[in-house]
Structure 1
């Protein structure tokens, strides 16, 4: 290979042919002059798609706003899940507006993920630093990202609180500095645990040292996010102007009283068409957890039309639907549009951008990047033409935080639904009993 690699080098003659090809097409100069002076998305935008979208939907769910804003933190999954739980809470409370504390869940999530990371460092203590799994763990010790099963483990163990009980902090809104502190101390801790192992210390000694590290991690989290409440007072006025008070309530009592679902009744449907993820099999993933002894992420892989049908069923029942997608594809934040025809890049570059879904996944052109909540669908003769999406990017984007998703975008870029088991068929529930196939932590659907 090394001997032949020079034969693949670009030559001046070849580059001259590229220049000639470019310069013989007058439209290339027009496009160059336009794109070099502006945002390519704005230049390529398809005005017809924008003009066709409107905010009317045949079926809508009351979301219980306000629109939330994850700001400069990769916690879309948590915001989406709390936004979804809010739709259930406002029904029980008969309230118009409500918001859970994201800061509270993030505190416990980071603490549990830190413990999870250190336990894995003990588990993989005999593997070299450049082992691919060790590298995966050490690269981002406590990532911002996650999925429903992680939030469920935190809620089951620590409960949930209203935003008033643990408001946002600077470091909730901008996770960069918090992560820098945690990453440093966790990597330092991992190195110390390995050194102790090399000195012949038993696992019991490593775990004792781990608890000293965790004591420090708690201190960092408390200083940067604030300490989470053990008990708090909560009061609100419902739609009928009646005042309700819950003095001295605990976070677990709060969840039971105002949400009241069994988190074990929530399931994940995946739709990934690649050969390594056959349909009607269940899948899990390595290291895709936050709590030692917590639940695995288990997803049943099904064709996309089943996702679509389940989503419609959920919304028609009057409930919202949590979903995961690749929001980096064919999306326009300012307009709040998700549509595969939103950009005419083909016209600008005179080349098609038409990779099929399987190829996009296999080449990492697409992957799961964002979680949001479906709060409406527009059905024409029983078929969806567009969807109403509650995002977590604040009110300055979209239609005051609401996005409109076309049916073609759902087909191409929605990959997972998180729904209650009452919306699953008996056959689906039976399929969930299969032993799951484990995917590596770098799989694009993780």
Structure 2
């Protein structure tokens, strides 16, 4: 078990910073990937020093949906969603007397619900960088916002809250992100955030969250118990096999998938741009090899498994393995990315091609390759267009 459960913000922030300082530009010499299918997406973004992977990945997902629906490629404002999310989260945090998780992290449904509630604007209308940097940097923002809210809660005690605290919090958001525009002009037309959202060729009603765990009944909805689900949003629960069928069916039909996952695993290599769940191929070993393997220490075996020098055997993932890893905090909700393609290695083994938001880093210019066992094992939740779900599964879920 991991001794410390890290929040999504910690991993998004730490791994992003590490990716930007990485000097290893060599792809794994033993892995040779061939893209089989690539769905059109907007360019790779850079969340930089912010724990907002959930927003970047989901907006990239929606931008792909716009393209699929026949719309022009566009860059939607991440910080529009993040800023509104901070305000909505603050109200709930104070209402909960500070017992809610108030951090930079979030989930895909924060974006769709944010657009439903607050509309959306293009990036160029609201970059949200009003604090002297050209890329997001939340090291100060998060400290200031949480400290303000904690002070409000402490000062109130058993007394009524002041009528000023929301205005004060909103003023801080204005200073860091910029004042929210009520109207704007985009490509010669005037919009409000709400009318711009309505003009997009997509509907927030088409998107659903899916997961696969046994501590709730299959084909039901449940509030997924992860710290960054501050909204208490629900996911549809399906068996593991059907969750993977949803991913494959989506990609086969030209839909991308917003993917919530855990990249704290040893099988995820930032420098190699891959994610795998390796297992020793004992059946393929000769007697001498098996004897030699048996004499290795656990540390030596682990080092051999995670060399990433060539494709090898991977673990067969079961429903029970997923559940145990989640219950033991071995699977945490620490990163969001976009599954947008299919690939294979030189042995013909299938992989998913994934778009990240850590800038166009090596070895694959901001794209990554994850094996099917990795996705089966380490997915916390998925957001998909409900029309991408196989009909027989959608019927079981009561989706129309």
Q: TM-score range by the shorter chain?
A: 0.7 to 0.9
Q: Deviation of residue 358 (structure 1)?
A: 3.7
The residue aligned with 2:80 is 104
Measured in 2, the distance between the counterparts of 1:417 and 1:363 equals: 21
Q: How does 1:219-238 map to 2 (within 5 A)?
A: 219-235=171-187
Asked if structure 2 preserves the Cα contact closer than 8 Å seen for 1:288 and 1:297, the reply is: no
Match status 1:328 vs 2:270: no
| Paired position in structure 2 for 1:52 | 31
Specify the SS of the correspondent of 2:74: coil
How far is the alpha carbon of 1:214 from its aligned partner? 0.7
Picking from 350, 354, 372, the partner of 2:300 is: 350
Aligned to 2:142, which of 174, 179, 188? 179
| Contact 1:73 1:176 (8 Å CA) reproduced | yes
Q: Mind listing any 5+ residue stretches in structure 1 that lack a counterpart?
A: 1-46, 122-133, 197-204, 236-244, 435-446
The list of structure 1 runs, each at least 4 consecutive aligned residues, that deviate by more than 6 angstroms after superposition, is none
Counterpart in the other structure of 1:61 = 39
Distance 1:430 1:410, change over 3 A: same
Question: TM-score, length-normalised on structure 1?
Answer: 0.68
1:73 and 2:50 correspond: yes
SS at 1:322's partner residue? Answer: strand
- Give the match for residue 83 of structure 1: 60
RMSD of aligned Cα (Å):
3.3
Question: Quick check: 1:366 aligned with 2:366?
Answer: no
Does 2:168 match 1:250? no
Determine helix, strand or coil for the equivalent of 1:72.
Answer: coil
Q: Which secondary structure does the structure 2 equivalent of 1:308 belong to?
A: helix
In structure 1, distance between residues paired with 2:28 and 2:374: 12
Q: Tell me, yes or no, if the aligned pair for 2:118 and 2:193 is still in contact at 8 Å.
A: yes
Q: Distance in 2 between matches of 1:323 and 1:298?
A: 15
Judging by fraction of residues, say which structure has more helix. Answer: 1
After superposition, the C-alpha distances for 1:101-131 in whole angstroms (9 at most, x for unaligned) are 111111111111111111222xxxxxxxxxx
Deviation of 1:386 (Å): 0.8
Distance 1:59 1:285, change over 3 A: closer
CA 1:155–1:367 in structure 2 vs 1: closer, same or farther (change >3 Å)? same
What is the match of residue 208 of structure 2? 267
Matches within 5 A, 1:263-342: 263-273=204-214, 276-285=215-224, 296-329=232-265, 330-341=267-278
Max Rg structure: 1
Which structure ranks higher in relative contact order (CA pairs < 8 Å, sequence separation ≥ 6)? 2
Q: 1:351 to 1:386 in 2, by over 3 A?
A: closer
